[in-house]
């Protein structure tokens, strides 16, 4: 196990792939592996980029990659993607812009599929971010597609969250409603050449001043034109300011809450996997499914499964005690 982690540190891509598929399994062994890996973490910057569709997130990330690469820093981009076979292609189309970076050894791009993994996206993403850290990237950028609750949750995994908005009102306001105001460390009003961008920035400033403040960090509101790279240097500077702020400040309550969140999320992911494994192998459940599904009572079946799951755990606990 130590060997695998050592290989990852030495940038062995095969070891990296093996690690990533082990993480997907989410068994007890992969948890132990992640615990050992976590102990090897180095200091690195993690940036989240979220905001409504069409805000220009990919273009902005492209510019961030350029800037960090100019400074000889290595970058990983982790995209949380709804990975259905059909939409897969469309999302990939979006990434054409980033494609030129695929040939750059200092840039690593990977997506985490969210389809069919309710409640587990955060765990997979968290694990991926930790693996990328040990693999040795200086900057990890987490991008979400969409602007729902799961996207907000995922942003808890990074140090600095950018919320990217555009002057074109409606969807930006809706994004703020969807909980993005509370998670933003830096606001980026992109497409600053469009009409209404000053007004948008002003509105966001007002919203910030009205929102309850949890820390002494006041989110700056920056204006960019990602297509030309205008404003990106200032953005990188503000990201660095936020990183320094986090290092200097001590917020034990916030850190405690984050840690508690992380621990319960990891336990839940493990437990969910246990439930899924059980469901796919339980004969009683299979039998129920064979009967007319329309007439079945899912709550009743769940109660019966839960009883059998408890018995299975009991048997397993006894067996491990007997060892």
Q: Does 35 contact its own copies by CB under 8 A?
A: yes
Stretch that binds its own copies, among 4-12, 67-75, 134-142, 148-156 (CB under 8 A): 148-156
Q: Does 175 contact its own copies by CB under 8 A?
A: yes
Q: Does 146 contact its own copies by CB under 8 A?
A: yes
Q: Does 202 contact its own copies by CB under 8 A?
A: no
CA distance 74 to 280: 41
Closest distance to its own copies from the beta carbon of 290 (Å): 8
Among 65, 124, 143, 153, binds its own copies (CB under 8 A): 153
Distance of CA 99 to the CA centre of its chain: 21
Stretch that binds its own copies, among 2-10, 65-73, 87-95, 195-203 (CB under 8 A): 87-95
Distance of CA 1 to the CA centre of its chain: 25
Among 110, 177, 202, 218, binds its own copies (CB under 8 A): 177
Among 21, 43, 118, 209, binds its own copies (CB under 8 A): 118
Q: Which is nearer to its own copies, 236 or 272 (CB)?
A: 272
Closest distance to its own copies from the beta carbon of 17 (Å): 20
Q: Does 322 contact its own copies by CB under 8 A?
A: no
DSSP H stretches of helix in the chain = 2-9, 13-25, 28-38, 57-70, 85-94, 121-135, 149-154, 169-175, 181-183, 197-210, 232-248, 252-281, 283-290, 298-322
Other CB atoms within 10 A of residue 126 CB: 21
Stretch that binds its own copies, among 48-56, 65-73, 189-197, 233-241 (CB under 8 A): 48-56
**Cα angle 188, 189, 194; round to 5:** 155
Binders of its own copies among residues 246 to 305 (CB under 8 A) are 252, 255-256, 258-260, 262-268, 270-272, 274-276, 278-279, 285, 288-289, 293-294, 296-303, 305
Q: Which is nearer to its own copies, 120 or 231 (CB)?
A: 120
Q: Does 13 contact its own copies by CB under 8 A?
A: no
Q: Does 1 contact its own copies by CB under 8 A?
A: no
Q: Which is nearer to its own copies, 234 or 259 (CB)?
A: 259
Q: Which is nearer to its own copies, 47 or 157 (CB)?
A: 157
Q: Which is nearer to its own copies, 236 or 302 (CB)?
A: 302
Closest distance to its own copies from the beta carbon of 173 (Å): 8
- In a 13 Å sphere around the CA of 23, the CA atoms on its Cβ side amount to 28
CA distance 277 to 315: 16
Residues 103, 104, 105, 107: what is their CA dihedral angle, to the nearest 10 degrees?
-110
User: Which among 80, 74, 70 is positioned nearest to 49, based on CA atoms?
Assistant: 80
For residue 39, the surrounding DSSP H or E stretch is none
Distances (CA, A) of 167 to 55, 127, 183, 199, 210: 9, 35, 20, 8, 20
């Amino acid at each position: 196990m130590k060997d695998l982690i050592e290989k990852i540190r030495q940038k062995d891509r095969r070891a990296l792939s093996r690690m990533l598929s082990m993480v997907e399994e989410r068994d007890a062994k992969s948890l132990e592996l992640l615990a050992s890996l976590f102990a090897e973490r180095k200091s690195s910057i993690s940036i989240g980029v979220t905001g409504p569709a069409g805000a220009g997130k990919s273009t902005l990330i492209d510019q961030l990659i350029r800037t960090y690469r100019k400074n000889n820093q290595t970058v990983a981009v982790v995209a949380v993607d709804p990975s259905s076979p059909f939409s897969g292609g469309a999302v990939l189309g979006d990434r054409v812009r980033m494609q030129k970076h695929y040939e750059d050894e200092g840039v690593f791009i990977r997506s985490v599929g969210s389809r069919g993994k309710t409640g587990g996206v955060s765990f997979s993403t968290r694990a991926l971010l930790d693996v990328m850290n040990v693999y040795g990237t200086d900057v990890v950028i987490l991008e979400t597609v969409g602007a729902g609750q799961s996207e907000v949750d995922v942003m808890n995994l990074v140090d600095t969250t950018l919320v990217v908005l555009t002057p074109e009102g409606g969807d930006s306001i809706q994004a703020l409603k969807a909980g993005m105001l509370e998670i933003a460390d830096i606001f980026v009003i992109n497409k600053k050449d469009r009409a209404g961008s000053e007004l948008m920035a002003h509105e966001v400033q007002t919203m910030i001043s009205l929102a309850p403040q949890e820390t002494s960090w006041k989110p700056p509101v920056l204006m960019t034109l990602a297509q030309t790279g205008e404003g990106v240097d200032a953005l990188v500077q503000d990201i660095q300011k936020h990183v320094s702020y986090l290092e200097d400040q001590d917020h034990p309550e916030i850190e405690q809450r984050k840690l508690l969140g992380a621990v319960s999320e990891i336990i839940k992911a493990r437990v969910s996997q246990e439930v899924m494994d059980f469901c796919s192998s339980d004969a009683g459940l299979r039998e129920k499914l064979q009967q007319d599904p329309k007439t079945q009572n899912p709550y009743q079946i769940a109660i019966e499964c839960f009883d059998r799951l408890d018995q299975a755990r009991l048997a397993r606990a006894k067996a491990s005690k007997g060892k």
